[in-house]
Structure 1
Amino acid sequence: MPTDQPADAGLVLRLLGPLTLSRAGAPVPLPPSRKVRALLAYLALAGHSTTRSHLCELLWDLPSDPRGELRWCLSKLRTVLDGPGRPRVLADGDGVALDLSGCRVDALEVRAALQQGVGALPASRLEGLAALFGDSEFLEGLDLPRSPAFEGWLLAERRRFRAAHAAVLEHWLSALPPDSEETLPALERWLAIAPFDRRAHEKLLEALASRGRLREGEEHLAATARQYEAEGQDWAPIGRAWRAAKSRHAGGSGSTVIVTSGAALQPVMPQPNPAVARRASLAVMPFTDRTPGVALRGGLGDGMAHDVITRLAKLRSMFVIAEGTMFALAERRVDSHDAARRLDVDYVASGSLRREPGGRLSVSVQLVGTRSAQVVWAEEFSAPLDDTFGVLDEIGNRIVTSIAHHIEVAERNRAVLKNPNSLDAWEAHHRGLWHMFRFDREDNEQARHFFQTAVRLDPTFARPHAGLSFTHFQDAFLGWRERGPAIEQAYRAAADGLMADEHDPASHWALGRAMWLKDRQDDALRELREAIELSPNFALGHYTLAFVHMQSGDAQAAIDEADHARALSPLDPLLFGMLASRAIALLRLGRYDEAAEWGARSAARPNAHVHIRAIAMFCLALAGRTREAGEYAAAIQRAQPGYGVEDFLTAFKMSADGEGLVRKAAKIVQA
């Protein structure tokens, strides 16, 4: 990296392995004080100003003069970091930071690569990152047993960089030619970092079989079986992978493999391995309670993890590891990254909570992609702890919907980048969602194609049936196809989804929307309530209840359901509909000014369709904001020439009072 000052060129700080500093290739002796070196590492990785009080709490366990000791440590850092005319240790009032511009810091290079996405990096870059890790731990040898806060930070960072190292090796191996001499050493390094990663074992056995090294493969399988059995884990899939590898490369018959299990010999008999439809998979670790004086496990932390796992499972949008497995791994002190690789899941969520002085609860959550070691989402929630169960319920709702939303977005974006001809059912479904949420006719057709592909590949997967029903719903609702046949197709697709999985809330949601199209409002409400009963966190169920009620039902119920849907899913692709439902409900309640504000907000969403802009126009007109209403009217005509009030009323099922308000607003706009 280029530097600003030639006198300070070539400054390199290594944190991966033992802490070292060099300038222009020459080692820079570091102060012998472990606190000084720990301070250097922490500030380098922080990348921002840190308060003196935080640094004192981090590095000193009740010293007599922590701020004095901190000043002494900073003075020692200046002697090794500052260059001529170039101060790098910056202390401004209560804040302390390092200016490392122009320096090379290995850990920061790795962090930047993870943020970019290791899957997108070329093999040469992955090889360089793997070399940065070497064979050592992050800050090897720099432990401070008498500074528990620093030890906690160090342990967490070591776990993160160990996971990053495994991700880099895995993607580098995927980019290497099968016969590369670097393959086996890289696989051994991968297994040294993640000894229970099934994919690493399978890749090693594949490499050994392809090289004809069958005895080594048998020995590795036997050692792996003993290792897995000692941990109470199932190694049978690895045994099956070894038989398949031998059959591919050595013409083997897939005969029995004998391995040691305790003192006895246990055969692994050949078994069929049917292809299983892929779903995104998630492991949720028990939450750690970091409240001083409280045990790390049990209590609120375990209760919140139980609640999150249960609610995510009820959504049925992904495969969620059962809590018994997660709690058992936590009892063995298996960290989240290791657990994710042991379980071979796509994502792992972990978190901690802390009861703060003053009666507040703070909860931190992080969602990580296992194979990329990339943080998909991280958030901190805080609420007053006056009602423990109410607070846990509120924060749990936000955690569940955020995890589900960000996994959905990540899977959708991943599917978009793949060749359409190579998609499996899960990927085709998410490719369909990507098009569906664009709300134009051409994308709706594309969405239908991908949902049909997903249904063909896996008829038992309920979600694509619901998506297919939604595309037909849009045809009828937005007038893109003949209304009658589109309604029947929406109904049939929803019914097929219910047959595939009657416990999936999306199936009942799709059927409820189709029932609404067929003018069976009571049946529609029943199906939508069933969706919410199955999964209280299913935001689309709450939104569609608001959608139905805002037209001809209970206007206040529509407002409440729309607000709940927004609280559950504040970034939802259908957010415009939630806002518009609130606007029409307010209009029916005679609260025109409020309705205008919410209508304008709904129309401002980037994927709002013509009916949403019409709602904004009607609300603005009745609120007396005729100039803005006229601007919306002109925009609607440019987007869909000839659109009028009858198009709107054909699409919706307004009550008599609602229809009267719409016609009144239309006359105001036309005047």
Structure 2
Amino acid sequence: MPRLSVRLLGPLEILRNGTPVALPASRKLRALLAYLALAPHAVGRSRLCELLWDVPNDPRGELRWYLSKLRAALDTPVRRRVETRGDTVALDLDGCLVDALDVTRAAAQGIGTLDRERLRALSELFAGDLLDGLELERSPLFDSWLIAQRRRFQAYHAAVLEQLAVNHPAGSPETSMQLDKWVELAPFDTRAHLALLSNLAERGAIGAAEEHLASAARLFQSEELDFAPLRAAWQTIRDQRSGNSLKAQPACLSTPSQLAVPSDAGTVEPSQASLAVMPFVEEAGEGTRGGLADGFTHDIITRLAKLRDFFVIARGSVFALAEKTIAPEEAGRKLGVDYVATGMVRNTAGRLIVSVELVEVRTARIVWAETFERRPDDIFAVLDDIGDSIVSSISAEIETVERNRAMLKAPNSLNAWEAYHRGLWHMYRFTQAENEQARQFFDKALQLDPTFARAYAGLSFTHWQNAFQRWGDRDRESALAYESAGHSLLVDDHNPAAHWAMGRALWLRGEQDGSLSELGRAVDLSPNFALGHYALSFVHSQSGDPRAAISSSDHSRHLSPFDPLLFGMLGSRAMSHVRLGQFEEAADWALKAAARPNAHTIILAIAAHCLALAGRLDEARGFAAAIRKTLPDYRADDFIGTFRFDPDAEALFRQGARRIGLS
């Protein structure tokens, strides 16, 4: 057992070797300890003074006194826990048991991935709200922080209880207590109510279930929420039980989800995840709307909606919930969305600071968090730049989570959305076998939902790869890529991915002007569509404007710095530098492209040719040898035939090939 423990969930307590450590009767001291314990990095003294004091006589003097008391409680002769460096303060809690940090680490790992014993241990850590009973007078910034943290840990607690309900038997008293607590923490989460109702039915407590249903109905109606689906699901449970078809099984979330009311015959569920962007908060604001943060929120919602990657809740709904001071996580459950994005804007001391979090509602897991800091020399340009990064990051993170989730499910259980993301997972491996698996999953997604524009775009991409990599007959695969892109446009002409797919298909057919037109349309529809900017760079790098190619490559990487197609973005820039006669720059960018873990043979060939032109022949021959291990007969004609270079560019690359024996 660690010699030092700090309990923040419930009344704050410090234990050394199991014995409570006495603390002065100061609320600010406890607030300071909790804030430093949960801070991800060292905190400036001015920030701590601003946080804990309204208009004190000597805030820094008082802060020094509080730090001395923390040292007395935490430090030992051989270990200093309170660290002050320059004007910052931090706590070194390495080797300590801090309940809130243990929960935070588990949430980052993914609560849904934890085993039963770990979940039970986490559940026992929740002895109450964070800093239960602690309130500070005249410290509005700390109060805002504390309220947000309490919401966060309540959401974590609900997620732990949900997973325990999944894994525990229906008749267990422990399960009943966990379900009751889950409903208490998340009163508007239909999954919690359905799990509880199913559990009560399994135990034969129909009367208790009816009482709970009536109480829940009044609660939902008081908030003007639709209760009909929950009532219909309960009726299904009762009907199945009266027909003796409800088999004895644990009351887990799979039960109520299977009992959900089916949609009308012939309708198709939307093939999308859903997202709510809650109004960003101005930290220095007075609670009024219409300021910088609100305008920023409107802009992000609009940009995300233009991507058409997922369903985005309209601004009216999220602002209406925010006016009721409903917590973001609770708003996400009320809105029935998969993800919630929240943010805070600070404009102080010549710096604009925007902090953003993306939370998966079901598990309360923070899947992405970032802080952007800029000098507001041109406030509109700065907001535009930060908005670009936020929108692209949210889109990429949701896609990553959905891809990984789909990979954990049995193939025959996938819905259209999951099949599409399973296809993406295989597609980004860039091998012939994985590409074929991707094609099959995109086909499955379209069988389940023939109106899924992005699945058609994905299908077009797999045919494009077959043509580009010579994994199939180029003419036939080019025709199939064009056909699939056409279907995508017919389904949703406003989807940037549809125009992206068509632009690439037209490039395969040698129609460069048409290709550039479609790709331009893609980025016009959604300026944050990174793949559209990359495709523009790809086309321009071969026979268009090489400087435009470099600009588009840079912008695509700025929008999506960890993109699975990053090797292509880097490779396009390398080919552009070749056409500009900048061979050293070309070699450097080509090496970066080849270093990507999923870089395929064509990227290695770009590196070999660029290094040869830069006179770095040993490195170039190394890449040529690597290519010939898998393709013994690979020659310059293969490389040139893959692309559509103008005559001058073709001559340069042939010159490089001759230097390393690839001609």
TM-score past 0.5 threshold: yes
Residue 668, structure 1, aligned to residue 662, structure 2: no
Alignment correspondent of 1:249: 241
Choose from 370, 378, 385 the match for 2:376.
385
Q: What amino acid maps onto 1:46 in structure 2?
A: A
Aligned to 2:180: 188
Is the Cα–Cα contact under 8 Å of residues 466 and 474 in structure 2 kept in the other structure?
yes
Q: 1:317 aligns with which of 304, 309, 312?
A: 309
1:370 pairs, out of 361, 366, 383, with 361
SS at match of 1:44: helix
CA distance in 1, matches of 2:488, 2:287: 46
1:533-566 CA distance string (max 9 Å, x none): 2222111111112211221222222222222212
SS at 2:340 equivalent: strand
Structure 2 counterpart of 1:651, which letter?
A: T
Match of 1:132 among 125, 142, 160: 125
Which of 324, 327, 342 is the aligned partner of 1:332? 324
Instruction: Give the AA of the match of 2:527.
Output: P
- Provide the C-alpha distance between the structure 2 equivalents of 1:548 and 1:278, rounded to a whole number of angstroms: 31
CA distance in 2, matches of 1:530, 1:87: 60
Counterpart of 1:557 in structure 2 is 548
Classify 1:101/1:524 alpha carbon distance in 2 versus 1 (closer, same or farther; 3 Å). Answer: closer
Question: Residue by residue, what CA displacement relative to the aligned partner does 1:314-369 show, whole Å, maximum 9, x if unpaired?
Answer: 111112111111111111111211111112221111001111222x3221111111
Q: CA deviation at 1:619?
A: 2.1
CA pair 314-270 structure 1, distance change in 2 beyond 3 A: closer
Give the direction of change, closer, same or farther, for the CA distance of 1:617–1:335 in structure 2 (3 Å limit): same
Contiguous gaps of at least 5 residues in structure 1: 3-8, 254-268
1:654 and 2:616 equivalent?
no
Equivalent runs, 1:334-373 vs 2, <5 Å? 334-358=326-350, 360-373=351-364
Rounded Cα–Cα distance in structure 1 between residues aligned with 2:490 and 2:425: 25
Inter-partner Cα distance in structure 2 for 1:114 and 1:289:
27
Aligned equivalents of 1:390, 1:48: Cα separation in 2: 29
Structure 1 residue 95: Cα displacement? 4.2
1:489 and 2:480 are equivalent in the alignment: yes
**Structure 2 counterpart of 1:301, from 290, 293, 304:** 293
| 1:525 alignment partner, one of 516, 521, 524 | 516
Query: Does the C-alpha gap of structure 1 residues 50 and 209 become closer, same or farther in structure 2, counting only changes over 3 Å?
Result: same
- 1:361–1:384 contact (8 Å) kept in structure 2: yes
Tell me the alpha carbon deviations over residues 226-258 of structure 1, each in whole angstroms, 9 at most, x when there is no partner. Answer: 3223223222222222222222223499xxxxx
Matched, 1:228 2:203: no
Structure 1 CA distance, aligned partners of 2:202 and 2:303?
Answer: 45
SS in structure 2 of the partner of residue 381 of structure 1: strand
- What corresponds to 2:193 in structure 1? 201
Tell me how far apart the structure 2 counterparts of residues 550 and 47 of structure 1 sit (CA, whole Å).
42
1:141, CA displacement in angstroms?
A: 1.1
Q: 1:512 to 1:78 in 2, by over 3 A?
A: closer
Alignment-mate amino acid for residue 631 of structure 2: Q
CA contact (8 A) 1:513 1:524 kept: yes
Give distance in 2, aligned partners of 1:131 and 1:228. 30
Instruction: String of CA shifts for 1:38-87, please: whole Å, max 9, x gaps.
Output: 22322333375444333333222232222332232233334443456555
428, 433, 444: which one pairs with 1:453? 444
The equivalent residue for 1:81 is 74
User: Could you tell me which amino acid in structure 2 is paired with residue 144 of structure 1?
Assistant: L
DSSP-derived class of the 1:164 partner: helix
Task: Say whether 1:68 aligns with 2:73.
Answer: no
Q: Provide the secondary structure at the position in 2 that maps to 1:355.
A: strand
- C-alpha contact (below 8 Å) 2:271/2:452 kept by paired residues: no
- What SS is found at the alignment partner of 1:182? helix
Secondary structure of 2:173's aligned partner? coil
Which letter maps to 1:465?
Y
Q: Share of identical aligned residues, percent?
A: 57
- Deviation, 1:271, is 8.0
Corresponding residue number in structure 2 for 1:281 = 274
Match of 2:114 among 114, 118, 121: 121
Q: Distance in 2 between matches of 1:303 and 1:369?
A: 24
Say if 1:240 and 1:270, in contact at 8 Å, map to a contact too.
no
The whole-number CA distance in structure 1 between the counterparts of 2:87 and 2:551 is 46
1:512 aligns with 2:503: yes
1:539 aligned partner? 530
Which runs of structure 2 are paired with 1:400-419 in the superposition (5 Å)?
400-419=391-410
Whole-Å Cα distance in 2 between the matches of residues 155 and 444 of structure 1?
A: 48
Cα distance, 1:210–1:388 mapped onto 2, change above 3 Å: same
DSSP 3-state at the match of 1:643? coil
Distance apart, 1:602 and its partner CA: 1.7
Match of residue 396 from structure 1? 387
Q: What is residue 480 of structure 1 aligned with on the other side? A: 471
- 8 Å CA contact 2:553–2:570 kept in 1: the answer is yes
Q: Secondary structure at the match of 1:62?
A: coil
Q: Is the 8 A contact 2:271 2:449 kept in 1?
A: no
C-alpha contact (below 8 Å) 2:108/2:367 kept by paired residues: no
Q: What is the identity, as a one-letter code, of the residue corresponding to 1:236?
A: A
> Structure 1 residues 24, 395: closer, same or farther in 2, change over 3 A?
closer
State the distance in 2 between where 1:293 and 1:327 align: 16
Contact 2:164 2:175 in 1 (8 A): no
TM-score (norm 2): 0.92
- Cα deviations across residues 513-543 of structure 1 (Å, max 9, x unaligned)? 1121122223222222222222221111111
- Encode CA deviations 1:157-208: one digit per residue, 9 max, x unaligned: 1111111111111111111123322333222211221211121122222223
Partner of 1:351: helix, strand, or coil?
Answer: strand
Is contact 1:209–1:250 with CA below 8 Å preserved after alignment?
no
Task: Give the corresponding residue for 2:431.
Answer: 440
Which amino acid in structure 2 is aligned with residue 548 of structure 1? Answer: V
* Match for residue 171 of structure 2 among 172, 176, 179: 179
Give, in whole Å, the separation in 1 of the partners of 2:304 and 2:15: 49
| TM-aligned CA deviation for residue 436 of structure 1 | 1.0
Q: What is the TM-score of this pair, normalised by structure 1?
A: 0.91
Where does 1:561-572 land on structure 2 (aligned, <5 Å)?
Answer: 561-572=552-563
Q: Which residue does the alignment assign to 1:575?
A: 566
> Take 2:40 and 2:492, find their aligned partners in 1: how far apart are those partners?
49
SS of residue matched to 1:297: coil
Return the letter of the residue paired with 1:334.
I
- Farther-moved stretch of structure 1 (81-90 vs 554-563): 81-90
Q: Are the structure 2 counterparts of residues 384 and 40 from structure 1 closer, same or farther at C-alpha, using a change threshold of 3 Å?
A: closer
CA contact (8 A) 1:288 1:296 kept: no
- Residue of structure 1 aligned with 2:620, choices 629, 636, 648: 629
- Aligned to 2:660, the other structure's residue is in SS state helix
Q: How big is the shift at 1:101? A: 4.1
Unaligned runs of 5+ in 2: 246-260
Residue 189 of structure 1: SS of its match in structure 2?
helix
Who is 2:139 aligned against? 147
Structure 1, residues 399-437: CA drift from partner, whole Å, max 9, x if none?
Answer: 100000011111111222222332222222111111111
Instruction: Figure out how many residues of one structure are paired with residues of the other and give that number.
Output: 646
Distance 2:400 2:125 in 1: 31
Q: Which amino acid in structure 2 is aligned with residue 158 of structure 1? A: R
CA distance in 2, matches of 1:15, 1:251: 49
